Amino acid sequence: MGTGFPPTRESRNLPAEFRIEEHFYKTTLRRLKEGVDVMAGKSMTGFGRGEAISDGRIWTIELRSVNNRFLDLKMKLPRGYTGLEDRIRKKVGSIHGRGRVDLFCSVSGDFSDLVKTTVNIPVAKAYKEGLSQIAKELDLADSTDLSLLASFSDVLVREQESEDLEVVWPFMQEALDKALLSCNEMRCQEGKALFNDLSQRLQNFQQVVEEIEGFLPALLERREKTLNERLAKLLDRVQLEPQRLAQEVAILADKTDVTEEIVRLYSHVGQFQSFLKEEGPVGKKLDFLLQEFLREVNTMASKINDAEIAHLTVALKGELEKMREQVQNIE
């Protein structure tokens, strides 16, 4: 199966360096389709441009993509090219999994082979008779000639035939492939930057969780001491078995224990790291996992309810918010 780049008279006559560049596009596009050249993740933001040239005509396609929950493709094609929409949509969908994609296509150059001129003889006769009658009625010389009749737009009618879409498609496909490749390279570059940032923020997040975990023994000890003091004050002069008192304190302390939340957060961190290494679209997975992160952090913050640790839970929420903003742009 071919790569979608038809051999053209222009490409055969190109200098060696341009033929090498064309070969690079074909090879890279094939690797892209086969999944060989796919990075771990891509941004949904990108721009690409491609051109194809044949017989004096230039087909140009520009792609602009931004983040969106689903694939939303908007096309602006030259008149008469609407029959190619399904092919274009299928090709774009094979590269873009999500995002708002705006595609602009234009064609320029020499269209003389499509122009046909027809002569409307009945109209020409009517003009000649009318001009002759005017000359006779006004006693003027009848100077009707061919150039005068030809100047009337409805005597010599120029019409442009529609292009054969089967002939046009290979060149449209070449321009589209180049635009998709260019856009994909930009998305990969930005995706790499986003993933690096997320990896760093995840590391910061884990460090804060570890810091909170380090505070837990002292926090629980301080919480038990406070509970003992409160119970002693409330139960002043009330006889209560020491064992029973210790049991009640332990129950109250257990309600403020956040060990389970911390274990789940560590598990989420591991999952997040594995998603960052996956091939293919992972944006939805990361977004869902960040919601789980936030739920555990909120539960932990409400359980701890300690002024000395409150700023750490606020820092966790801040990191999660920044990570979520980045994830919104990942495919």
Query: What CATH number does residue 177 fall under?
Result: 3.30.230
Which residue would you say has higher pLDDT here, 130 or 272?
272
Select from 102, 105, 86 the least CA-distant residue to 46.
Answer: 102
Instruction: Look at the chain and report how many structural domains it folds into.
Output: 3
Please state, in angstroms and rounded to a whole number, the distance separating the CA atoms of residues 92 and 95. Answer: 6
Select from 262, 263, 87, 248 the least CA-distant residue to 177.
Answer: 87
| Residues 257 and 244 occupy one common structural domain | yes
pLDDT class of 240 with cuts at 50, 70, 90 = low
| 65 in a structural domain | yes
| Residues 220 and 142 occupy one common structural domain | no
Which pLDDT value is given to residue 278? 85
| Residues 70 and 134 occupy one common structural domain | no
| 159 in a structural domain | no
Which residue would you say has higher pLDDT here, 35 or 59?
59
Q: Are 77 and 60 in contact (CB under 8 A)?
A: no
Last residue of a domain, one of 95, 130, 154: 154
Select from 87, 83, 79 the least CA-distant residue to 105.
Answer: 79
Task: Please write down the long-range contacts of 319-325, taking CB distance under 8 Å and 24 or more positions apart.
Answer: 319/201, 319/204, 319/205, 319/208, 320/205, 320/290, 320/293, 320/294, 322/201, 323/198, 323/201, 323/202, 323/205, 323/290, 324/287, 324/290
Mean pLDDT of the chain: 80
pLDDT class of 238 with cuts at 50, 70, 90 = low
| 4 in a structural domain | no
| Residues 75 and 171 occupy one common structural domain | yes
| Residues 93 and 125 occupy one common structural domain | no
| Residues 199 and 304 occupy one common structural domain | yes
Mean pLDDT of 43-61: 92
| Residues 67 and 178 occupy one common structural domain | yes
Which pLDDT value is given to residue 136? 80
Mean pLDDT lowest among 24-28, 140-144, 150-154: 24-28
| Residues 59 and 172 occupy one common structural domain | yes
| Residues 180 and 196 occupy one common structural domain | no
| Structure tokens, 66 | 């931004």
| Residues 244 and 278 occupy one common structural domain | yes
| 225 in a structural domain | yes
Which pLDDT value is given to residue 7? 44
The range of the structural domain enclosing residue 18 comes to: 9-111+164-188
| Structure tokens, 209 | 């969780």
| Residues 175 and 31 occupy one common structural domain | yes
| 317 in a structural domain | yes
| 116 in a structural domain | no
pLDDT class of 251 with cuts at 50, 70, 90 = low
Plot region of 118 (φ>0 → left; ψ -120 to 50 → alpha; else → beta): beta
| 1 in a structural domain | no
Mean pLDDT lowest among 85-89, 121-125, 260-264, 284-288: 121-125
| Residues 206 and 150 occupy one common structural domain | no
Plot region of 116 (φ>0 → left; ψ -120 to 50 → alpha; else → beta): beta
| 103 in a structural domain | yes
Which pLDDT value is given to residue 115? 63
pTM exceeding 0.75: no
